[in-house]
Amino acid sequence: MTIERAAEPFLLIRNLIKEFDGVRAVNDVSVAINKGEIFALLGSSGCGKSTLLRMLAGFETPTHGTITLGGKDIVGVPPYQRPINMMFQSYALFPHLSVWDNIAFGLRRDGLPKDEIAARVEQMLSLVQLGAYGKRKPHQLSGGQQQRVALARSLAKRPQLLLLDEPLGALDKKLRERTQMELVGIIEEVGVTCVMVTHDQDEAMSMATRIAVMSEGRILQFGAPGEIYETPNCRFVADFIGSVNLFNGSVSVDEPDHVIIDTPEGRHYVTHGITGTMGMPVSVAVRPEKIALQAEAPTLEQRAVAGEHGYNCVQGVVAGIAYFGNETSYHVQLDGGMVLKATRTNAARHDDSALKRDQRVFAWWDGADVVVLTR
Amino acid sequence: MNFLKNLLTLRWITGRRVVIAVPFLWLTFAFLVPFLIVLRISFTEADNGGNPFGTLMTLVDGVVTLKVKIANYLFIAEDELYALTYLNSLKFAAITAALCLVIGYPFAYFMARAKPTVRPVLLMLVMMPFWTSFLLRIYAWKGILANHGILNNFLISIGAIGEPLHLMNTQFSLIVGMVYAYLPFMILPLYANLVKMDVRFLEAAADLGATPLQAFWRITVPLSKSGIIAGTMLVFIPAVGEYVIPELLGGPETLMIGRQLWDEFFTNNDWPLASSVTVVVILLILVPMAIFNKYKADQEARS
């Protein structure tokens, strides 16, 4: 029996570079992924996330760098010999084979005995709740069913690593929400380590245990979904994940327990220290749901939370309202010039304090709820 | 009344109907009518006094006489020569189609996998032979395969053989000519099919553990089935009735039905028998064609 050393990550990518005609699609990426993790590579199209996934699958050869899986170097191993299976974007189910044969395809290549193949295929079909659909051809299934066949096919060989390429991209919104949960449930039930690629932040946040945000071939930030959302480390990540208000300004007071940042829209009192210097240009990031929006000026208690001397409080005029049912999103034209995004949860059915267009409003927030970005 | 009025105003002539009518008229006058004429001739007597064929129906003293002569068909069925010739035609057409497939498939495959910028050039090269007269190209093979032709001279000069090989007017020379002439008709539909194939299917196969060779047999070949069938039909059907190539390159043991037709028409001047031979050829071709069409229709109905 071997004792697993927790210090050793299961999948280790080191200094990976991929160049296409001199252009770096993946630029010096290093990632360590633990066993059983669902790891999401998140980025917009062309950020290099798909190229990275294709290198893991073996369809692309790295220009430089190493990939080790379970301690073994897999660069140079052809895709058909890797213990890695992939669920393709829009699934790539073989159109001429039935659902059953699609799932059995990989098992047959391994030369497993017939009865074992049958047992495994049946097991996979019941895992994705498609027991009665074995004889159908892929085009006779709905999008959601095809997605489950693709998942069953990629899990049938019991891979050490499962790759998901935009796993829910081809599904409509309602189905996507339901499938996200199912997919995570199945992956956790099987216990396979999983790397997924997506441009959809909701998909990444809701499914992954850890996310890497990619841009222009580089990884900008690693972290659990909550970390990435609440403590983004740069403007790109703050802006890419969710919605954010960025106040650009400079540091005017720098104390260990608080900083004050001056911006054209007002002064920001931040209740935590930052690693920066006086006068340094920074951005204060405030999420729309952290902002309180009201018609009357903040009360004394509210000002105690926001900060003294009218810190963390701005004024403006409601310029746009978008009602989503569960919440309402407001665009407020601030006196300082920028447009502030703020949301209010519609907790009660009838809200007497509902704000109207062109109404003058106050917006304030807790100095602990903001993030100061230095890059 | 209304119907007549509508008819006279010509309002029923719509653009859609005209467009549909063109191929229908073409098929009616270029295929159906000539075929019916041939069918009619095949059931008549040979009339040696002037007309090459007799009449099917006569009206004498108010009596309509319909005279259908099936002796030609019986003759074709009974005479071993015809059976042998038909079989020969089918055999050589099948060998040609099979060899074209074996040679044409890799051809089409690499064309389809070539860089998109190179593909038009390759496509043009495949069609290039059509720029020269068909007759000339087939005739050129005589110069290559003759006893003192290019091939034998070359083999003797490198010392591979002492005596010239007898290649001309054999089954070998016939098949070489047929495969050469019909190869583009195999390559083009196969190429059109393979170029459309999604390479992600091959990636998915590789991902699931299929070696490139397994992926080819399990994925590429089944997915190109309609291209294989189209190419095979395009080669097989005209090859059955081929006359020029067996005449120029074939020998005594390569008697094919095209040659037989020619003899009946122009040597024996027996138009009814020649017509019967033609009808049987058409049936031999129509049956596989119908099977192919049914297959295509089934496939389209399924997807």
| CA angle (A42 as vertex; A52, A196 as ends), nearest 5 | 60
pLDDT of residue A176 exceeding 70, the answer is yes
Does residue B180 form part of some domain?
yes
Q: Does B132 touch chain A (CB under 8 A)?
A: no
Q: What is the pLDDT of residue A91?
A: 92
pLDDT of residue B49 exceeding 70, the answer is no
- The answer to whether A105 contacts B208, with C-beta atoms less than 8 Å apart, is yes
Q: What is the pLDDT of residue B65?
A: 81
Domain boundaries, chain A: 11-235, 243-373
CA B126 to chain centre: 18
pLDDT single digits (tens) A233-268: 999 999 898 889 998 888 888 877 788 888 888 888
Instruction: Please state whether A359 falls in left (phi above 0), alpha (psi between -120 and 50) or beta.
Output: beta
Going by C-alpha positions, the residue among A165, A155, A43 that lies closest to residue A92 is A165
Residues in A closer than 8 angstroms to B218, CB to CB, are 105
Structure tokens at B231: 């190419």
Does residue B263 form part of some domain?
yes
Look at chain B and report how many structural domains it folds into. 1
Does residue B295 form part of some domain?
no
Q: Which residues between 172 and 211 in chain B have a beta carbon less than 8 angstroms from any beta carbon of chain A?
A: 198, 200-201, 203-211
Half-sphere exposure of A174 toward its Cβ, with a 13 Å CA cutoff? Answer: 0
pLDDT of residue A127 exceeding 50, the answer is yes
B219, closest residue in chain A (CA to CA): A94
- The answer to whether A86 contacts B205, with C-beta atoms less than 8 Å apart, is no
Name the residue facing A86 among B207, B210, B211 (closest C-beta): B207
Instruction: Give how far B270 is from chain A: nearest CA, Å.
Output: 51
Phi, psi angles (nearest 5°) of residue B184: -60, -30
Mean pLDDT, chain A, rounded, equals 88
- The answer to whether B211 contacts A86, with C-beta atoms less than 8 Å apart, is no
pLDDT single digits (tens) B105-116: 999 999 999 999
Question: What sign for the dihedral angle of Cα B45, B49, B51, B52?
Answer: positive
Give the whole-angstrom CA distance, residue B4 versus residue A127. 68
Residues in B closer than 8 angstroms to A78, CB to CB, are 206
Please state the ipTM of this predicted complex. 0.83
Give the whole-angstrom CA distance, residue A259 versus residue A288. 21
Phi, psi angles (nearest 5°) of residue A150: -60, -40
Determine which of A257-271, A280-294, A322-336, B225-239 has the lowest per-residue pLDDT on average.
Answer: A257-271
Domain limits for position B255? 79-269
Does residue B275 form part of some domain?
no
Q: Is A217 helix (H, G, I), strand (E, B) or coil?
A: coil
Per-residue b/e over B36-63, b at no fewer than 16 CB within 10 Å?
eebebbbbbebeeeeebbbeeeeeeeee
Mean pLDDT, chain B, rounded, equals 88
pLDDT single digits (tens) A60-103: 999 999 999 998 999 989 999 999 999 998 899 999 999 999 99
Name the residue facing B203 among A59, A84, A153 (closest C-beta): A59
Phi, psi angles (nearest 5°) of residue A102: -60, -45
Write the CATH number for B127: 1.10.3720.10
Name the residue facing B206 among A80, A93, A153 (closest C-beta): A80
B303, closest residue in chain A (CA to CA): A139
Q: Is A173 helix (H, G, I), strand (E, B) or coil?
A: helix
| CA angle (A315 as vertex; A309, A317 as ends), nearest 5 | 175
Q: pLDDT grade, residue A114 (50/70/90)?
A: very high
pLDDT single digits (tens) A33-44: 999 999 999 999
Q: For the packed helices A173-190 and A143-155, what is the interaxial angle rounded to 10 degrees?
A: 20
The domain over range A11-235 is classified in CATH as 1.20.1090.10? no
CB-based contacts of A119: which residues, under 8 Å, 6+ apart?
none
Does residue B222 form part of some domain?
yes
E strand or H helix at A205: helix A201-207
CB pairs under 8 A between A and B: 58
B222, closest residue in chain A (CA to CA): A96
User: CATH assignment of A243-373?
Assistant: 2.40.50.140
Does residue B92 form part of some domain?
yes
- The answer to whether A105 contacts B222, with C-beta atoms less than 8 Å apart, is no
- The answer to whether B201 contacts A85, with C-beta atoms less than 8 Å apart, is no
Does residue B71 form part of some domain?
no
Q: What is the pLDDT of residue A2?
A: 44
pLDDT single digits (tens) A8-32: 789 999 999 999 998 999 999 999 9
Instruction: Give how far A271 is from chain B: nearest CA, Å.
Output: 52
pLDDT single digits (tens) B124-177: 999 988 889 999 999 999 999 998 889 999 999 998 888 888 888 899 999 999
Does residue B191 form part of some domain?
yes
Instruction: Give how far A168 is from chain B: nearest CA, Å.
Output: 18
Instruction: Give how far B296 is from chain A: nearest CA, Å.
Output: 14
- The answer to whether B203 contacts A94, with C-beta atoms less than 8 Å apart, is no
A361 and A355 in contact (C-beta within 8 Å)?
A: yes
